[in-house]
Amino acid sequence: MASWQAYASAWLLKRRLKPRLRAARDILELRRLLVPPAQKQPADVVINAAAPGGVPGEWVRPREQDKGRLKLLYLHGGGYIACSAETHRPVTCFFGQLGFDVFAPNYRLAPEHVFPAAVEDAVAAYRAISEGEDCPVLMAGDSAGGGLAVAAMLMLRDTGWSRMPAGAVLFSPWADLAATGESLKTNNKKCALFDGAKLGPTARHYLAEADPKTPLASPMYADLSALPPMLIHAAANETLLDDSRRLAARASEAGVDVTLKIWPVVPHCWQLMPEFVPEARRSLREAGAFLMAAASKAGAVVDAS
């Protein structure tokens, strides 16, 4: 059974934010609207600016300096046009509290920087934090960042990078920028955030002249073979639900170990609200446990206490 907080958050977003997103006149307004409310930084994590691979961003680490912690590259959502490492601290700090060293890059945003700039930045950051590492490195992302995580893994695989992620977590990944999923229509009225008809035109800010079915922009259309184990969490009522369903099905057909979990009531990327929504905390804990298990299977010594 869904929590009352899940119902309340979906209700508030649907009535207060969704109409504003629908009526937004330009990119600057969309950027402002897509920034989630700021939350207080937990006392048990440390945040430091860094630029591995020349990509600016921030490390979020547990305050206690234990050796052998797992590294996690976290790619924020925001439709490739908005948000940042800072806006997604509710998620990265939670992973930090679970014991991960999290790097969140501020990859280049559209329309100032179009495809494949975001993929190139994600790959550059991953290569820099994984090079020379003995322990497995992991990857995660939400919404556009979830699709970007898959695209980055595809580029790493196809360029022969030796240290692929040991596992990946995708929260409501935007994996089809061609906007062909049925849930764009069937969930349009139920979704707390997005109008399905708006997603295709929004993707054009990032795609520019690129084909929306280009695999590194829309991993739905890629050969997904030889990718690491993946956990996908999606919301039952969101317009992007079919991106998660179809991506999971295609990954499974390609031989990837993939787990899909669909959560009732919660809004798109509810993981950004761990202080209020119990399902956000549960999703993040399940994601952390999955990543630790994937790292352990890949040979890391993991303290899951």
Which residues are identified as catalytic? 143, 238, 268
State the pLDDT confidence band at 3, using cuts at 50, 70 and 90: very high
Q: Is the pLDDT of residue 305 over 50?
A: no
Tokens of 210: 């690129």
Adjacent-strand bridge partners of 129:
none
The CATH classification number of 4-297 equals 3.40.50.1820
Q: What pLDDT was estimated at residue 169?
A: 99
Sheet with strand 101-105: strands edge to edge: 45-50, 57-62, 101-105, 71-75, 137-142, 168-171, 230-235, 258-263
Q: What pLDDT was estimated at residue 301?
A: 55
- In whole numbers, what is the pLDDT of the chain averaged over residues? 95
Residue carrying structure tokens 């992302």: 141
- Encode pLDDT of 27-79 as tens digits: 999 999 999 888 888 999 999 999 999 999 999 999 987 655 899 999 999 99
DSSP secondary structure, 102-144, as one string: EEEE-PPPTTTS-TTHHHHHHHHHHHHHHTT-SS-EEEEEETH
**Measured between alpha carbons, how far is 55 from 17 in angstroms, rounded to an integer?**
31
- Encode pLDDT of 198-255 as tens digits: 999 999 999 999 999 999 999 999 999 999 999 999 999 999 999 999 999 999 999 9
Q: What pLDDT was estimated at residue 114?
A: 98
Q: Are 47 and 58 in contact (CB under 8 A)?
A: yes
